[in-house]
């Protein structure tokens, strides 16, 4: 009659966790086999992550990072990892903080384009990072300063001050 005894919720939970761990283990083995065949014996690291935060409009924003991207129903694995980036806007400057672990600072290339985008590219033998960021305000590219320490890149750029006409507008004569 022990077959019919009631199991505790903890027993059921433990059994479920064992099943889930076994499924992940099988999936990982199968994925490694697939990647080895696909990339000619070389297994590249797969990095995928996301963060959720509240945007300036009060709505939640989901931001993905890594080298695994979705295109429609397909999954695309890129050679370059998209780093996790934070953008902070103050009254007179824009600060960008990017995580680029394992790269020497001389391997980092930072560019600010005319259309107000910041491009971060870092490459060495083992790691490749790439990220394009649309800046939240017009900036003065010549004022950009970058620091890199312990895998964290910090870029500070002064904002372009609007012309007096833009601040106050153009006066229209009333007839």
The DSSP output letter for 3 is: G
> Please, are residues 133 and 155 in contact by the beta-carbon 8 Å criterion?
no
Residue 63's pLDDT is 81
Residue 1's pLDDT is 45
> Please, are residues 82 and 67 in contact by the beta-carbon 8 Å criterion?
yes
Q: How many helices (H) and strands (E) does the chain have?
A: 2, 10
Residue 23's pLDDT is 86
Residue 79's pLDDT is 79
> Please, are residues 103 and 129 in contact by the beta-carbon 8 Å criterion?
yes
* CA proximity to 135, closest of 117, 156, 157: 117
Residue 108's pLDDT is 94
Arithmetic mean of pLDDT over the chain: 83
What are the phi and psi torsion angles at 59 (to 5°)? Answer: -100, 145
Cα–Cα distance measured from residue 119 to residue 102, given in angstroms and rounded to the nearest whole number: 19
Cα–Cα distance measured from residue 85 to residue 65, given in angstroms and rounded to the nearest whole number: 9
> Please, are residues 98 and 120 in contact by the beta-carbon 8 Å criterion?
yes
Residue 14's pLDDT is 87
Residue 4's pLDDT is 57
Q: What H or E segment, with its residue span, contains residue 142?
A: none
Mean pLDDT by 10 residues, the chain (175 residues): 66 87 82 65 70 83 80 77 90 94 92 92 88 91 93 94 66 77
> Please, are residues 138 and 145 in contact by the beta-carbon 8 Å criterion?
no
* CA proximity to 130, closest of 77, 65, 74: 65
Residue 97's pLDDT is 96
Sorted by sequence, the CB contacts under 8 Å of residue 87 that are 6+ apart come out as 94, 95, 96, 133, 135, 136
* pLDDT tens digits for range 19-59: 889 888 888 877 777 666 665 555 566 778 888 888 778 88
Residue 39's pLDDT is 57
């Amino acid at each position: 009659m022990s077959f019919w005894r009631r199991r505790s919720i903890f027993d059921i939970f433990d059994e479920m966790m064992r099943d889930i761990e076994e499924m992940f283990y099988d999936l990982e083995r199968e994925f490694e086999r697939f990647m080895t065949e696909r990339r000619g014996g070389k297994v590249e690291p797969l990095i995928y992550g996301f963060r959720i935060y509240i945007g300036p409009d009060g709505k939640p924003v989901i931001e993905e990072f890594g080298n695994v991207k979705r295109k429609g129903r397909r999954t695309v694995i890129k050679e370059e990892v998209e780093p996790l980036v934070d953008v902070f806007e103050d009254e007179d400057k824009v600060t960008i903080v990017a995580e680029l672990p394992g790269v020497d600072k001389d391997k980092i290339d930072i560019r600010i384009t005319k259309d107000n985008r910041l491009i971060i590219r870092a490459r060495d033998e083992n790691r490749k990072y790439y990220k394009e960021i649309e800046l939240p305000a017009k900036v003065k590219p010549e004022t950009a300063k970058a620091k890199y320490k312990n895998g964290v890149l910090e870029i500070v750029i002064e904002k372009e001050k609007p012309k007096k006409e833009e601040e106050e507008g153009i006066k229209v004569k009333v007839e």
